[in-house]
């Protein structure tokens, strides 16, 4: 049963007043968020939707955590079974999550990621739920997948522009991708960032790191993030600086082992595993430079976090990185993607540099913190939900007044109409 009932003042009324929606989140591994960008996205969006009066159900993989909780930040967490293998984990979980969402009568089924969206035709054509999909990156291009998996994900990519009632993307680069290659207009709702308060440097002690004397990379150990290139570049940096690789395998154990073999002869390279909370904040805040030489990204939360912590950053010049750092500054630099020589030279310079005042760098950081806002993102996403539901009912959406971050969603009214 959908949340929207009859018109105000009885059946046949002119308006359907706003009422809380039941939103089902499908595609994330689970909550509370630990290392995954999609998990952090869902957590921050979902919690704010709850604050605005909606009911949010997040479907979690049975393989996600040893400790399963029923509620987190106001969101209901429901475990949906899966098969924890590289090729079946996401798709089986999406199938079981979709079934549970429809049984629960969700108003909106919101898929996160291209792969989970393979199940989107079920609610789109066999239910009254509206279907929203957020594309966080072009998953079919990721190097960890073999030819068969890439073909399936290629089909999912084709479906992403045809099945959902609303398509959402997290970067302007993805907006251009769908516009230029698919002739589609996607809604741009970027990730947000929440600056973390200062944390003590002694949280670095278990890793043998000293403030300002190390480079840090944060993310899953998968080929497209080019941690292998970073390790080779760092081995060309002389001195006692260290390199902290923060993260671990994501169904990419062979690549993870390759990285450790590559660094075996350099004791300055430290693999910390996944880090969370204050420990992760310390690794950002006290680093000499954050490095992300990726060849493929959506809109990386790691880069947003590094900039928000005022950590110097060094990134490849792919479009999603340029969206964040623009023309750069003395503390925000880019190098050509896959250029070992350029990455090595820039690493040497940034690790050796003294921290000098730079108004351009301060302005860029302020701009990032201001623009990439979870509060702004949730307002835009709420409009996406209401718009998709209105179309399902053949009704135009009318917004009353400006949708400011401090306003509640009950200022939005759906006007009932006929085709």
- Per the CB < 8 A criterion, the answer to whether 191 and 184 are in contact is no
Q: At what angle do helices 301-308 and 37-51 cross, to 10 degrees?
A: 70
Sorted by sequence, the CB contacts under 8 Å of residue 280 that are 6+ apart come out as: 218, 246
Residue ranges in the chain modelled with pLDDT below 70: 1-19, 66-67, 139-145, 250-252, 395-419
Predicted confidence at residue 396, as pLDDT, reads 53
| Residue 67: per-residue pLDDT | 64
Residue 214 pairs in a beta bridge with 242
Instruction: Measure Cα distances from 377 to 14, 33, 356, 364 in Å.
Output: 30, 18, 34, 20
DSSP code per residue over 110-170 = EEESTTGGGGTHHHHHHSS-EEEEEE-S-GGG-TTS-HHHHHHHHHHHHHHTTS-SEEEES
The closest alpha carbon to 219, from 159, 257, 273, 150, belongs to 273
pLDDT value at residue 3: 38
Q: What is the pLDDT of residue 34?
A: 83
CB atoms within 10 A of CB 117: 27
> What integer pLDDT is reported at residue 394 of this predicted model?
72
Name all domains of the chain by residue range, CATH numbers in brackets. 15-192+373-415 (3.40.50.2000), 201-371 (3.40.50.2000)
Question: Taking a C-beta distance cutoff of 8 angstroms, is the pair 20, 55 a contact?
Answer: yes
What is the structure's pLDDT at 62?
85
Q: In degrees, to the nearest 5, what angle opens at C-alpha 199 toward C-alphas 198 and 203?
A: 160
Pairwise CA distance, residues 151 & 156, whole Å: 9
Cβ atoms 274, 35 nearer than 8 A: yes
Report pLDDT for 25. Answer: 98
Q: Could you give the strand order of the β-sheet that contains 242-246, starting from the edge strand earlier in sequence?
A: 269-273, 242-246, 214-218, 289-292, 313-316, 332-335
Half-sphere exposure of 109 (CA within 13 A, CB side): 32
CB 246 within 8 A of CB 218: yes
Which tokens belong to 259? 């990285």
pLDDT at 145: 61
Residue carrying the six token digits 């959908």: 2
Report pTM: 0.85
């Amino acid at each position: 049963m959908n949340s929207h009932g009859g018109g105000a003042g009885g059946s046949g009324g002119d308006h359907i007043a706003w009422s809380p929606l039941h939103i089902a989140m499908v595609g994330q591994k689970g909550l509370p968020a630990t290392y995954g960008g999609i998990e952090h996205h869902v957590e921050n969006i979902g919690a704010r939707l709850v604050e605005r009066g909606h009911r949010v159900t997040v479907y979690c993989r049975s393989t996600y955590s040893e400790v399963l909780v029923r509620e987190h930040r106001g969101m209901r967490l429901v475990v949906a079974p899966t098969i924890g293998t590289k090729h079946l984990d996401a798709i089986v979980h999406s199938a079981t999550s979709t079934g549970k969402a429809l049984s629960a009568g969700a108003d909106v089924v919101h898929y996160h990621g291209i792969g989970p969206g393979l199940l989107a035709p079920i609610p789109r054509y066999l239910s009254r739920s509206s279907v929203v999909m957020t594309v966080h990156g072009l998953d079919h291009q990721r190097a960890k997948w073999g030819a068969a998996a890439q073909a399936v994900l290629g089909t999912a990519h084709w479906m992403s522009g045809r099945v959902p009632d609303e398509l959402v993307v997290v970067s302007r680069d993805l907006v251009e991708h769908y516009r230029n290659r698919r002739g589609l207009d996607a809604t741009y709702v970027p990730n947000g960032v929440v600056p973390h308060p200062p944390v003590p440097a002694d949280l670095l002690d278990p890793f043998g790191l000293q403030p300002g004397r190390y480079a840090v990379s944060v993310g899953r150990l998968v080929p497209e993030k080019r941690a292998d290139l970073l390790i080779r570049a760092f081995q060309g940096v002389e001195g006692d600086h260290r390199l902290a690789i923060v993260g671990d395998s994501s169904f990419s154990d062979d690549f993870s082992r390759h990285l450790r073999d590559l660094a075996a002869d350099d004791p300055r390279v430290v693999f910390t595993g996944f880090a969370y909370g204050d420990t992760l904040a310390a690794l950002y805040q006290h680093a000499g430079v954050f490095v992300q030489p990726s060849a493929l990204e959506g809109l990386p939360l790691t880069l947003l976090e590094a900039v928000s912590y005022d950590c110097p950053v060094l990134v490849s010049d792919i479009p999603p990185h340029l969206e964040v750092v623009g023309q750069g500054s003395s503390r925000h630099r880019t190098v050509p993607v896959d250029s070992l020589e350029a990455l090595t030279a820039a690493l040497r310079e940034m690790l050796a540099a003294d921290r000098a005042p730079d108004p351009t760098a301060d302005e860029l950081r302020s701009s990032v913190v201001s623009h990439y806002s979870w509060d702004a993102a949730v307002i835009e996403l709420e409009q996406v939900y209401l718009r998709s539901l209105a179309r399902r009912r053949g009704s135009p959406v009318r917004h009353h007044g400006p949708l400011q971050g401090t306003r509640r969603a009950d200022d939005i009214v759906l006007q009932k109409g006929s085709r």
